[in-house]
A and B are shown apart, each in its own frame.
Chain A
Amino acid sequence: MSKGRRGDKPPEFRPGTWLLGTGPDNDIAICTRVRLARNLQGFAFAPCLQEAESTKLYEFVTSRLKQAPLPDKLAVVDLAPVDELERSVLVERHLISRELAASKRPSGVAVDPEESVAVMINEEDHLRVQVFAPGLQPEAAWRHAERLDDALIQRLPIAWSEEFGFLTSCPTNTGTGLRLSVMLHLPGLVWSEEIDKATNTAQKIHLAVRGLYGEGSRALGDFYQVSNQVTLGRDEVTIQNDVLLAVGRLVQWEREVRGALLRGSARVRTMDRVHRALGTLERAQILTSEEALGCLSAVRFGIESELLDGFEIAAVNRALLLSQPGHLQKHTRELLRPEERDQRRAQLLREVLGCAP
């Protein structure tokens, strides 16, 4: 990542912190995210705000965020002039939620140059602070978020009570307002059909298992998000320990099934699946985003388990991002119909992975 580009518009190919592919347990844990829900005293919660109040809140928050010095160098992106395509790019980069992208309220997002921090303004809560750390790093991500939260508390009249903690629009976030998620790549559990068992186990201990883009999204490309559900009555350290314990077990479980998929008679079937996926990426002329993500997941697994060589994880990560509709159209600089998109996707993925045209 070039420091020289600080302040520039983020280049499309830069993966952002969530897709760096570094950090502890990065073969399975892609990224850790801390999300804090915060609201201001003296304003109704965002969904109940009248338009004039909503504008006032947005302006108040952005003016305070611009007051130096914050622990992170944040640039505020006002979403009002941002079109649908650019908004979907921000969603695909996990900088804003799908809800904020669809919102008509005055809203914005404050982002740092590394895309490790994104503070959504006027989402369901007045502020949704997000901090990303590559790999499995709940503690580091929390410490970063805590520093930023301290700075925000000094600048903004955050709503709280001793009894209920941080006050949020939805009671599911009341208390710490903390949602700690780890994004996991679990092809082993999916291929060996143990994923339902694994997700049920996680749910039993009050952890939510969701798809790549949060609530209601499907687990495309064998990517899952595991996060705490309880925010009240458990402090931040306990939540970290809960998530770390459960994710640690899932990571261990994934490693064991990956091992089994590479042994004995299973090995040739696994190799077949990985090479077929690579064959599709190398030769297919039309690729839906779902098929592309499935193939990229298999290739990623192939590289991690040394079944494939000559490919970099970084290239696969880049391909993962570019195969999504927003990034694809941004890259080709034109709005495409779905069938045109599938054709361009196939072509682009061949280029990114360095396959023959």
Chain B
Amino acid sequence: MQYCTACQTAIATVVIMDLTNGSVTGSQHVCQACADQLGVGNVKPAKFSPEMLEDLLGGMKQARRPARTTEACPGCGLTPADFRQKGRLGCPRCYETFRTELIPLLQRIHEAQQHSGRLPGVVAAPPAVPDERSLSDVRKRLEDAVRGERYEEAARLRDELRKLERGQPT
């Protein structure tokens, strides 16, 4: 425990470090009130951006979004032009075929892109396509583990994420 070097009365909770060419050349321990006065009170812990996480994971994240659809739906033959003109889908498979165009449309209509609510029972087999919901959940847990410096857990989650992205059971 250290007293604030500025006011000498309160307990120091903020450390201000001087950095020169990447190495610490000096430090000051101050209390929150003095840190606020110095204009450094609002420093927040660095947030992991998706880009940082991607770097950390060695670029394992691949481009998952398909490019703009140019093909007709294999299920019903609906063309992208038909879909854009009518704003209606031709068959259940259209949801996958026109996913890229559909998502912004759903966002405009419902201000949402993801279903919430009841579904017909539990899927018997593991999903063949990457499950977006589990993916984002595991990514978040991985991010938390890295931030909390729990590297063993992070490694396990990274492997899980890889499997999920390939559509394998975890």
Alpha-carbon separation in the docked complex, A145 to B103 (Å): 28
Within 8 A of B (CB), among A267-287: none
Q: How many A-B residue pairs have CB under 8 A?
A: 108
Alpha-carbon separation in the docked complex, A174 to B109 (Å): 10
Q: Is the interface of B mostly helix, strand, loop or mixed?
A: loop
Alpha-carbon separation in the docked complex, A231 to B132 (Å): 20
Q: Which of B89, B92, B106, B110 has the most CB of A within 10 A?
A: B92
Query: Counting CB contacts under 8 A, is A8 at the interface?
Result: no
Q: Encode A215-256 as 1/0 by CB contact (under 8 A) with B.
A: 000000000000000111111101000000000000000000
Q: Are B106 and A235 in contact (CB under 8 A)?
A: no
CB-nearest residue of chain B relative to A146?
A: B118
Chain B interface residue bracket vs A = 20 to 34
Q: Are B110 and A165 in contact (CB under 8 A)?
A: no
Out of A44, A48, A171, A233, name the residue touching B115 (CB < 8 Å): A233
Q: Encode A157-171 as 1/0 by CB contact (under 8 A) with B.
A: 011111111111111
Query: Counting CB contacts under 8 A, is B91 at the interface?
Result: yes
CB-nearest residue of chain A relative to B82?
A: A48
Q: Are A171 and B91 in contact (CB under 8 A)?
A: no
Q: 5 closest A-B pairs (Cβ-Cβ)?
A: A233-B112, A165-B115, A235-B117, A159-B92, A232-B110
User: What are 13 pairs between A and B in contact, CB < 8 Å?
Assistant: A44-B75, A45-B76, A45-B88, A162-B123, A165-B116, A165-B117, A169-B89, A171-B106, A230-B110, A230-B112, A232-B113, A233-B111, A233-B112
Give the interface of A toward B (CB within 8 A). 39, 41, 43-45, 47-48, 146, 153, 158-172, 174-176, 178, 230-236, 238
Give the interface of B toward A (CB within 8 A). 75-76, 78, 87-92, 95, 102, 105-106, 109-121, 123, 127, 131-133
